[in-house]
Amino acid sequence: MRRAIVLAALLAASAAAAPPPTGVEPQPFRLDAALAGSSIGYNAESYLLRWSYRLDFPLVGSGEPWDTGLWAAAGSVRASEFYSRAWLHERIALEDWGTLEFRHARDEDLDGRHDRTLVGMGWRFAGAWTATLLGDVPGDKELIDAQLELAWAEGRERFRLALVLTDFQYDAKQSAARYDAEPVTLFAERWWSWDGVGELYAYGNANLQTRWRDLASGTTLADRSTQAGIGLRRALGPQRALRAYLRGADGARRTDDGLGARTLAREHREAAFQHELPVLGRPSWWGLRALRLDEDHGGSAPLARVKRRELLLYVGSRWRLGERLTLAPELALDRVELHDERLAPALQRERATLGKLSLPLEVVLDQARGARLVFDVGLKLHELKFGGAQVVISVPL
């Protein structure tokens, strides 16, 4: 346990970051992940542990849209696996006409972990409008991504369009493989605000049909995916609020190495509702979260279906322990049903009721800046054993 806690702290400290801004970022096509398949094994506890590590409600948290800051977190989800996330966004004003932009993000999805580092420049025009050109520039020139954004902002009313050209130098910089249909991502998001009383957020992300082939081995790949979501935050009075979101993703993929084809069709749906209210004078909350995941794995073997159903109930409150210390215990109960036809018949079905008690302790490091450290230790109630630890460092800029 001590080694896991120390390692989590080192991982977090190595990429300190501020809470990611409200909303989401474009999610472009990733060639390596599409070819290799998922690099993460999600067991019955995986989603519960990852949910317990959130710092705010998804999509419509308390952060500012397109905020700047440094934030990083690492939490233990298995004996040999961390859930690691990071966000860094810095914006430098150039007189009254533009900005320099730097963004770094580390996250994970159903295909595995991924990193993006964007550098670029924005130009302000027509008052509230900004055009920004960014590049994700790794060491290999053929893997450079270009991201073009058009944004409008007045207060918390925001709108952004993005076009991502993934590996746009790919065919020009190497000869081992080719895109027959190049990867293109279209992204859009919008915030609506009602005088500080409520907010509505919506986004969409589409990775258009991509076709890739390796000239030497004859391997081919076809891939497409879409994501969309909507979130609502409504204030009901002092320390009272409602939050809700609904989001989903769909994808289809086919890989053929000449010896046989592998196919994947995926549907992911998720919804949550949270009610925030004071209890005994302390900020408190309760909520429900439902998750549904369906995957069809095909190829030379018969079609194998994977189904996951979850319903999670959680309650929590914030206890102020001092001027710089706050404890926010949360209890979560999760009903999980799994069906995985890729496993042996005796292991294909699993039903479980899981529970976790989280005890995140927040320490204010710099009150003027808002920098803070969160150390979160959990207990698995269904096993009465250590439930992982997380360290978070947050520094607004």
Token code pair at residue 211: 């076709």
Over the stretch 228-246, which tens digit does the pLDDT of each residue have?
A: 999 999 999 888 999 999 9
Distance CA(164)–CA(181), nearest Å, equals 14
Q: Which of 8-22, 62-76, 277-291 has the lowest mean pLDDT?
A: 8-22
Mean pLDDT of the chain: 90
Beta strands per DSSP E along 37-80: 69-78
Over the stretch 26-56, which tens digit does the pLDDT of each residue have?
A: 999 999 999 987 777 788 898 999 999 888 8
- Of 377, 369, 376, 361, give the one whose Cα is nearest residue 394: 369
Neighbour-count burial for 141-153, b at 16+ CB within 10 Å, e otherwise: eebbbbbebebee
Q: Report how far apart, in Å, the C-alpha atoms of 341 and of each of 252, 296, 360 are.
A: 19, 10, 37
pLDDT the model gives residue 21: 72
pLDDT the model gives residue 251: 96
pLDDT the model gives residue 123: 96
CA dihedral defined by 182, 112, 329, 324, rounded to 10 degrees? Answer: -70
pLDDT the model gives residue 16: 33
pLDDT the model gives residue 62: 84
Evaluate whether 371 touches 365 at the Cβ level (below 8 Å).
yes
Residue 322 confidence (pLDDT) above 80: yes
Over the stretch 102-135, which tens digit does the pLDDT of each residue have?
A: 999 999 999 989 999 999 999 999 889 999 999 9
Q: Could you tell me the pLDDT band of residue 20, with boundaries at 50, 70 and 90?
A: low
The CATH number of the domain covering residues in 20-55+88-372: 2.40.160
Distance CA(240)–CA(234), nearest Å, equals 9
What is the pLDDT averaged over residues 136-160? 92
SS3 state of residue 196: coil
CA dihedral defined by 33, 35, 38, 40, rounded to 10 degrees? Answer: -60
Over the stretch 51-85, which tens digit does the pLDDT of each residue have?
A: 998 888 999 998 888 888 888 899 988 878 888 99
pLDDT the model gives residue 222: 97
pLDDT the model gives residue 98: 92
Angle at 98 between CA 20 and CA 24, to 5 degrees: 20
Residue 370 confidence (pLDDT) above 90: no
State the CB neighbour count (10 A cutoff) for residue 267: 13
Token code pair at residue 240: 């009272």
User: Which residue has better confidence, 276 or 367?
Assistant: 276
What is the pLDDT averaged over residues 375-387? 92
What is the pLDDT averaged over residues 184-194? 96
What pairing do the DSSP bridges indicate for beta strands 112-125 and 129-136? antiparallel
pLDDT the model gives residue 257: 87
pLDDT the model gives residue 259: 81
What is the pLDDT averaged over residues 153-161? 93
- Of 175, 169, 256, 174, give the one whose Cα is nearest residue 211: 256
SS3 state of residue 239: coil
Distance CA(392)–CA(386), nearest Å, equals 19
What is the pLDDT averaged over residues 156-168? 95
pLDDT the model gives residue 13: 34
Distance CA(277)–CA(8), nearest Å, equals 32
User: Which residue has better confidence, 277 or 54?
Assistant: 277
Residue 249 confidence (pLDDT) above 70: yes
pLDDT the model gives residue 104: 94
The amino acid that residue 13 corresponds to is A
Residue 195 confidence (pLDDT) above 60: yes
Name the one residue in this structure whose structure tokens are 């995941």. Answer: 293
CA atoms within 13 A on the CB side of 206: 6
What is the pLDDT averaged over residues 149-154? 96
Q: Could you tell me the pLDDT band of residue 94, with boundaries at 50, 70 and 90?
A: very high
Distance CA(90)–CA(128), nearest Å, equals 19
Residue 287 confidence (pLDDT) above 90: yes
Distance CA(206)–CA(249), nearest Å, equals 10
Token code pair at residue 120: 């670029």
Evaluate whether 161 touches 187 at the Cβ level (below 8 Å).
yes
The amino acid that residue 20 corresponds to is P
